[in-house]
Structure 1
């Protein structure tokens, strides 16, 4: 139970959990082992109405609050992080900036197909020298008589390369500001645009069934109508997008921790040593108690940050806190769960996929703000005059 949850939140949890248990859990291990993006499985999630669920009904969304979306991500991550990442990136990074900064024409053009998951959409910031340092973006957009000419690339982009992907929003350098600093602007580009190509990335340590890819721009012509937001506002758009995106990564950490904890509880009741189930040993029982306590604290922190966002309050610092803490809890719980499994946790096991959870949690302290950067964000707020 949680004081912030309403009937609709329990209903979202129930339907997504049932789908994840019945449809995703039995098959995802094979896709993960083969490093295949399960496109048909993703398409089958359309029946849940969780793609674009927080977008207005006028654009094909469900008009739900953000907490409902976060619970959906949490429940997918409880079973598999690749599918949770697909939903999280599409809703927060894909739909989010178009909904927040797009013109009415852009919203009408892009959102209906994205809200029904007819198509997926990506957001591109990361390059070799750009990530934590957004100012390191080297992709260039030069203004022309018709719009913009773009050259460069993006890497490690979720929902970037599959056949379902309709396009990408991305940040590019567009000149030098009057104060001598670089200027950045955000753009939209759709599949089929000449010079815009994608490549599915393999040999990943984690999220092996997610679509993470490279994106290339070679003399890509973009019309003025596909500039997203005002010129020079690219970093602002990126930061606002990531504030919300961090909540979805936190949800992935929370869900992964919940799933790892449940596996550890179940295994500890079955595994016997010295003639007794290991759950009866105080050393194991105390590990489970610590896991449960951390998960409860993480859930309260995350849900409170979502409440702030849903009710129009500043939430950036709380979003950073939630993402920092939930990713750490995911790491702690997955590690302790692995300790409980012992040697049995080292191998693929579709009933107890703890080795997959142990790998998948490692991204959470890096993606959408490393833990080091989040501590910078939080400390700035702590130290500022109020």
Structure 2
């Protein structure tokens, strides 16, 4: 494990093996870029002085590309692990308690995938009990849809219960009303740093040349609105009202020890989707509802890997832009306690959860708070933390 002189950092999950990037403000000053080290933010604008660190988002730094990403990370690791570096860096450490964390990057485009075979199969059984759980295309390509980048919000943002068309059980005509089946989706998001021009696809082997790092994602979902609208064109208003992301972007380089070949795929994908590197990720997620753990989804169970998602997302020549975000889709495992949505955990609401206070939940109620966190093995053998993404449900606005 790479050690650091920052008090408590080595055992915090935010030591020198991690160094996630975020954006913060302090005392009303303009936002700037920092990295988290233990219970501190290291102010990169003050420490390194580069103009991209005085920005209100990570986009200018991410646009510099992988050579710069590696150079800065290497420099920071050196400074945080040496006494010479301590003299320069220590004056720029700020306690987390003194800062306000902001949205870490400006979202350009947002794409949401559907890459867990367990989740897709469960949803198929719930929504289409008389059909095959998976559609014929599912094992041939990473299924996805384009979301709404303008409603991607930082952790801590209140989530207003959405209103839309939904059909009551047994009813024929829809009603216009607040969602009664508000849900979560525990996901992992991939943040694009280096863009591409239109007309150029990104091969699976170039994944790390373009993706800067990962965030945790809660893709809030109104299941009743979704169920009424999704045929024939897929998710729309049931998804687009809010998507929450964690405040820290963990660099891909911090996840080296979590990498593995990925889940076996049968049938073998077409050549443009055939893996050339190990980008399966062994991450342990945890979902809490009002402070109580209700699920532990394993990212290692995902069927499609992020390099394949990126290759498919661009195979038609669609361009990448700095700040593009694409998410994995709900992360679910084989066991019932590993499902990443209430839809699955309660089997469509038929088997409500009983919480420790005796209350039950089929779907979310106003005032409920959901927190998703994750850990992984760090490059030095210890554990690194991906932070958390949290949100509280607010009543419908109309």
TM-score range for the pair, normalised by the shorter chain length: under 0.3
- TM, length-normalised to structure 2: 0.22
Q: Which has the higher contact order (CA 8 A, sep 6+)?
A: 2
